[in-house]
Structure 1
Amino acid sequence: MVADHADHVDELLGAHFAGALDPVESDAVHRHLEICAGCRDSADEVIEVLAALALIE
């Protein structure tokens, strides 16, 4: 699924920050995060969770 500016990308954020998306999907997430404050807030939460998980591995 490639998100455009009308779609929210919440479901892609974990995979995005884990480096699991292909370049097209990753670029779409980046473009969406530039315009969507709600998804940026969600992205901040995903980053915090991934950082916490890295501490316990």
Structure 2
Amino acid sequence: MTAIGQILCRIGLHRWGRKRGYDEYSSNVIEWEQRCERCGKRKRWVEAKRDRRR
């Protein structure tokens, strides 16, 4: 990792990669995950699936 990249990640300016979703836990929620391409930090969040009847 370059020195500039380290500095940017330290101040919170990450380069987030592609968003990936998993639906292992329940049929109505999705767990999303993204990783920083420079430092490898992960962020995860859970969202409800959209209603298919609409």
Structure-1-length-normalised TM-score: 0.27
- Structure with the bigger percentage of helix: 1
- Please identify the structure whose Cα radius of gyration is greater: 2
- Structure with the bigger percentage of strand: 2
